[in-house]
Amino acid sequence: MGFVLISRPLARALLASVALMTASVMLAGCDTDQVSLANNAKANQPVPPKLLAAMVEKDMDLQSPILVRLFKQEAELEVWKQARNGQFALLKTYPICRWSGDLGPKVREGDRQAPEGFYSINPSQMNPQSAYYLSFNTGYPNAFDKALGRTGSQLMVHGDCSSRGCYAMTDEQIAEIYSLGRESFFGGQKAFQLQAYPFRMTPVNMAKHRNNPNMPFWKMIKEGYDHFEVTRQEPKVDFCEKKYVFDATRAPDAKRDPVFDASAKCPAYVIPEDVVAAVRGKQARDEAEYAKLVAKGTPVARMNTGIDGGMNKIFAAKIPEGSTGLSEGAEGTTLQMLAMAKAPGTIPGHVNPPKPNLDSVASAPAPQEEPVVAVSPPASSRVATAQPAEKSGGFFSNLGRKMGMGSSETTATTPPPQATASVAPAAAPVTPPTAASRLKAAVTRFVPGHDKKEAPKPAATAAAKPAEPAKPDTRLAQTRPALKPSVSDGAGEATQIMGAAPVVSSNSFDSRFGAMK
Per the CB < 8 A criterion, the answer to whether 75 and 310 are in contact is yes
SS (H, E, C) 244-263: EEECCECCCCCCCCCCCCCC
Q: Give the C-alpha separation, 281 to 399, whole Å.
A: 42
- Letter for the amino acid at 376? S
Q: Give the C-alpha separation, 320 to 285, whole Å.
A: 43
Q: Phi and psi at residue 289, in whole multiples of 5°?
A: -65, -40
Sheet holding 117-121, edge to edge: 88-95, 76-82, 66-71, 192-197, 117-121
Q: Looking at the predicted structure, is the pLDDT value of residue 463 above 50?
A: no
pLDDT at 330 (0 to 100): 56
Mean pLDDT of 127-149: 96
Q: Give the C-alpha separation, 291 to 402, whole Å.
A: 52
* Highest mean predicted confidence (pLDDT) among 185-189, 314-318, 470-474: 185-189
Q: Phi and psi at residue 66, in whole multiples of 5°?
A: -120, 170
In angstroms, how far is CA 266 from the centroid of its own chain? 29
Q: Give the C-alpha separation, 307 to 284, whole Å.
A: 35
Tell me the per-residue pLDDT of 245-255, one tens digit each, with 9 for 90 and over. 999 999 999 99
Mean pLDDT of 158-174: 93
Distances (CA, A) of 463 to 313, 317, 322, 351, 458: 20, 17, 13, 8, 10
Residue 166 is among the residues annotated as catalytic for this protein = yes
Catalytic residue among 97, 161, 166, 240: 166
pLDDT at 242 (0 to 100): 98
pLDDT at 222 (0 to 100): 98
Torsion of CA 183, 184, 189, 192, to 10 degrees: -130
Closest CA to 169 of 491, 504, 398, 511: 491
Whether residue 141 is preceded by a cis peptide bond, meaning omega within 30 degrees of 0, is: yes
Which pLDDT band holds residue 83 (cuts at 50, 70, 90)? very high
Instruction: Look at strands 243-246 and 135-137 and give their pairing.
Output: unpaired
Tell me the per-residue pLDDT of 208-230, one tens digit each, with 9 for 90 and over. 999 999 999 999 999 999 999 99
pLDDT at 434 (0 to 100): 52
Which pLDDT band holds residue 28 (cuts at 50, 70, 90)? very low
Distances (CA, A) of 312 to 115, 238, 322, 344: 18, 32, 10, 11
Per-residue buried b or exposed e for 141-177, using 16+ beta carbons within 10 Å of the residue's own CB: bbbbbbbeebebbbbbbbbbbbbbbbbbbbbbbbbbb
Q: Looking at the predicted structure, is the pLDDT value of residue 121 above 70?
A: yes
Tell me the per-residue pLDDT of 475-512, one tens digit each, with 9 for 90 and over. 433 444 567 767 776 544 433 434 433 433 444 555 44
pLDDT at 40 (0 to 100): 81
pLDDT at 206 (0 to 100): 98
Tell me the per-residue pLDDT of 362-388, one tens digit each, with 9 for 90 and over. 444 444 444 444 444 444 444 333 344
Q: Give the C-alpha separation, 351 to 461, whole Å.
A: 9
Q: Looking at the predicted structure, is the pLDDT value of residue 516 above 90?
A: no
Q: Give the C-alpha separation, 212 to 210, whole Å.
A: 6
Residue scoring higher pLDDT (175 or 17): 175
pLDDT at 214 (0 to 100): 97
pLDDT at 514 (0 to 100): 41
List of residues 6+ apart from 489 with CB closer than 8 A: 48, 49, 50
pLDDT at 373 (0 to 100): 41
Nearest 5°: the CA angle 187, 69, 386 is 70
Q: Phi and psi at residue 350, in whole multiples of 5°?
A: -90, 10
pLDDT at 100 (0 to 100): 92
Residue scoring higher pLDDT (411 or 266): 266
Q: Give the C-alpha separation, 334 to 506, whole Å.
A: 44
pLDDT at 483 (0 to 100): 72
Q: Looking at the predicted structure, is the pLDDT value of residue 200 above 50?
A: yes
Work out the percent of the chain whose per-residue pLDDT is above 90: 53
Which pLDDT band holds residue 9 (cuts at 50, 70, 90)? low
pLDDT at 245 (0 to 100): 98
Tell me the per-residue pLDDT of 12-26, one tens digit each, with 9 for 90 and over. 555 545 444 443 433
Three-state secondary-structure class, residue 177: helix
In angstroms, how far is CA 179 from the centroid of its own chain? 16
Mean pLDDT of 302-316: 87
Which pLDDT band holds residue 37 (cuts at 50, 70, 90)? very low
Q: Looking at the predicted structure, is the pLDDT value of residue 135 above 70?
A: yes
pLDDT at 485 (0 to 100): 67
Residue scoring higher pLDDT (344 or 230): 230
Residue scoring higher pLDDT (329 or 22): 329
Helices (H) and strands (E) in the chain, counts: 14, 12
Least confident of 40-44, 146-150, 199-203, 282-286: 40-44
Residue scoring higher pLDDT (439 or 28): 439
pLDDT at 487 (0 to 100): 77
pLDDT at 416 (0 to 100): 41
Work out the percent of the chain whose per-residue pLDDT is above 70: 60
Mean pLDDT of 448-459: 43
Tell me the per-residue pLDDT of 392-434, one tens digit each, with 9 for 90 and over. 344 444 554 445 454 333 343 333 444 443 434 444 444 455 5
Average pLDDT of the chain to the nearest whole number:
75
Q: Looking at the predicted structure, is the pLDDT value of residue 298 above 60?
A: yes
Least confident of 184-193, 204-213, 279-288, 369-378: 369-378
pLDDT at 448 (0 to 100): 45
Is the pTM of the predicted complex or chain greater than 0.75? Answer: no
DSSP assignment of 62-86 equals TTS-EEEEEETTTTEEEEEEEBTTS
Q: Per this entry, what is the length of the chain? A: 517
State whether CATH 2.60.40.680 applies to domain 49-296.
no
